[in-house]
Structure 1
């Protein structure tokens, strides 16, 4: 995830790590990713802000793994801690989006093509 966010091939600039984290976590905690995707979908369809949906999904996944029922024998508190760090990293990488949301200048996703 760090290599995606700060790629040496792109002069240490990169993405926000959401898709990379989702791919990594799909193999480790598919139920958690399912919960996060459901949260992402609800937030996206209600707000039409991809950034709000991504932040919400990352935070919901971190909360889901700390929930007592989500911690199973295969993963312990170290895993929940790593996921919490990934969620905080995702929020930090979205800080420019958060600033635009506060200013009211963040673009909403549109389902129509521009002519």
Structure 2
């Protein structure tokens, strides 16, 4: 029990590392003050560019995947494996390092999903890519692909914990995208191709 709980705590602390925020701070920009205010890949791309977005994507994905891989190596499975994956996602969404104000959890969710159920996760990510390319809206891609995740998990014979994980993360995805849904309905949602020019704080002081 101590090992399992330790892995859950470690996963949360790993998931809470705010890569988008840290990358922005290195450039003198608080990513939370611009664009959508989110610390995730899409907002980083609009403000800091493709390279920073790629670094954020990699960091946010790995902090979901690595704890699950570690848990598997320690022979955790079933509900404990799901608990570790969910802890990483909760860490991203509500990070202790940023006073529990984090991101939407899309990349970290799919990173965790890759460690739990590889094929359903890959297909879910493929759906995200196709929808994002078609609509140019990351939120639509996240919401639609998250609905597909539990269907794919069930279709490919996922266990009850795996299907439950997909259902729970779908609910979390919609919870974290409430403001995006409002903007989509009002036609004010930002696209992936939009850019926002922000002057670093260091330059403003000169």
So what's the TM-score if we normalise by structure 1? 0.85
Number of aligned positions between the proteins: 109
Superposed CA RMSD = 1.9
Distance 1:2 1:17 in 2: 8
Match for residue 112 of structure 2? 24
After TM superposition, the structure 1 = structure 2 runs for residues 57-96 of structure 1, keeping only pairs within 5 Å, are: 57-67=145-155, 70-71=156-157, 75-96=158-179
Runs of 4+ residues over 6 Å off in structure 1: 111-114
- Secondary structure of 1:12's counterpart equals coil
- Secondary structure of 1:109's counterpart equals coil
Distance 1:93 1:61 in 2: 17
The unaligned stretches of length 5 or more in structure 1 are none
1:109 to 169, 172, 192: 192
> Which deviates further from its counterpart, 91-100 or 57-66?
57-66
Change (3 A) 1:30 1:97: same
Query: If each structure's helix is expressed as a fraction of its own residues, which one has the higher value?
Result: 2
> Which deviates further from its counterpart, 8-17 or 105-114?
105-114
Larger radius of gyration: 2
Match for residue 180 of structure 2? 97
So what's the TM-score if we normalise by structure 2? 0.49
Is the counterpart of residue 38 in structure 1 residue 126 in structure 2? yes
Shift of 1:29: 1.1
Shift of 1:112: 8.2
The unaligned stretches of length 5 or more in structure 2 are 1-88, 198-206
